[in-house]
Structure 1
Amino acid sequence: MNLNGISKKLQRAIIQTGLIVKVGTTQFYSNEQKRLINVYILSTPVYQPNRKGEWKDRDMDILRTSSQIDIVNCLNDIWKAVK
């Protein structure tokens, strides 16, 4: 099974416990390596006040990495903690 499939299964299992965990991606171009780099972001929504004192939902980053195996390992650690 590929890492993307494993991370989706872990994410679904964690969400069923009531903890919302989002996995997002973004890309940037590296002039040094002359290629696009994928960045994976593991986040959870939190309720925080903004500058005006109003409370809003925001995403708090848990992990930001270019390694998908780090995302799978972090999701596995979260799963072990919540089950």
Structure 2
Amino acid sequence: MKLNWFTRKGIIYWPASVIGWVILVIAAAFAIYTFIDIDSRSHSVSDTLTNFVFNLLLIGLVYTIIAYFTEAGKKVD
């Protein structure tokens, strides 16, 4: 069974269904929440960005793994 939640356009995975959009919104909301949380505990801009970039890479990695395994497959005729 192939799940068709995402489609790949170049190196970006775009949502192709409602579930894909929900996953994208959850990932973006979690990234914003993480940024606000890190910013509230940081003492400088560089401290905030250094800690946020690592978390953003992890969020992007999880999103990409989910999208990779649920992308719409190409038909082989």
- TM-score computed with the length of structure 2 as normaliser: 0.33
Structure with bigger strand share is 1
Higher relative contact order (CA 8 A, sep 6+): 2
- TM-score computed with the length of structure 1 as normaliser: 0.31
